[in-house]
Structure 1
Amino acid sequence: MTLKKIDNLIFNTSHEHFDKEVIETSKTTPVLVDFWADWCPPCTMLTPILERIVHAYNGKFLLAKVEVDDGHNMKLAGHYSMRGFPTVLLFIEGEVKGRWHSSKPEHWVRHFLAEHGVNE
């Protein structure tokens, strides 16, 4: 695997490695995927919330980051029918089990995770 780790719970991924790093990994551990861009203020607001939650859950899920302006990553965003950013997808057992668009408060994200069986 060519995970570009930020730490043991957060990693950057790309179109080229998405199947292996996200879909395959999600077969054993849920993966929350944040599709973001530098020019996107709501993306900047959401990042610290997601990072705080992934660390609080301590391994119950992983956080993958996909920068949509990087290379072919916009094709990946198109594949998952994204119309705006940030868009966040939750992969469990190799499939998208949930998604949302735009920045959300921490309590909303925690509720979203719990609805999909990911608990602290």
Structure 2
Amino acid sequence: MTSTGLSGAVRAVTDATFAAEVLRHDGPVLVDFWAQWCPPCHMIAPVLDEIAAERAGTLAIRKINADENPGAARDHQVMSLPTLILFRDGEPVAQWVGARPKSRLLAEIDAALEA
């Protein structure tokens, strides 16, 4: 794992790659808007790594540094970090702000995907 909290299953995206990696991705994508200075962002990183490994093939997880990539954060009205946005077919279907336990996040993701 690198200092950015990325495992092999969680990939970083930028403003330049956001459309290809998220909006045009086949299947659901959970995007973590984070920043280096944000302690809760670092708290949720290992949770996202675990979910990415467990849900490989059914849920993609992407991280975008909101300080370095303000365009995507602005486009999706991200006001607090971490913000997690779940996309399906290029459209946001759910959004959560703040770190949360793995079991709660999985339940929220599953509920949003079933809706």
Q: TM-score, structure 2 length as denominator? A: 0.88
Paired residues in the alignment total: 109
State the match for 1:10 in structure 2: 10
Superposed displacement of residue 102, structure 1:
0.6
User: What is the correspondence of 1:87-106 to structure 2 with a 5 Å cutoff?
Assistant: 87-106=83-102
Superposed displacement of residue 113, structure 1:
1.3
Q: 2:108 aligns with which of 107, 112, 115?
A: 112
Residue identity (%): 30
Q: Are the structure 2 counterparts of residues 58 and 21 from structure 1 closer, same or farther at C-alpha, using a change threshold of 3 Å?
A: closer
Residue ranges of structure 2 left out of the alignment (5+ in a row): 1-5
Superposed displacement of residue 57, structure 1:
1.6
Displaced runs of 4 or more, over 6 A? none
State the match for 1:33 in structure 2: 31
Structure 1 position 79 matched with structure 2 position 75? yes
Instruction: Supply the AA of the counterpart residue of 1:24.
Output: R
Superposed displacement of residue 6, structure 1:
4.9
Q: 1:55 aligns with which of 53, 56, 62?
A: 53
Superposed displacement of residue 76, structure 1:
1.6
State whether residues 10 and 48 of structure 2, in contact with CA within 8 Å, keep that contact through their aligned partners in structure 1: no
Q: Distance in 2 between matches of 1:117 and 1:34?
A: 17
Secondary structure of 1:52's counterpart equals: helix
State whether residues 68 and 77 of structure 1, in contact with CA within 8 Å, keep that contact through their aligned partners in structure 2: yes
State whether residues 6 and 12 of structure 1, in contact with CA within 8 Å, keep that contact through their aligned partners in structure 2: no
Give RMSD over aligned pairs.
Answer: 1.5
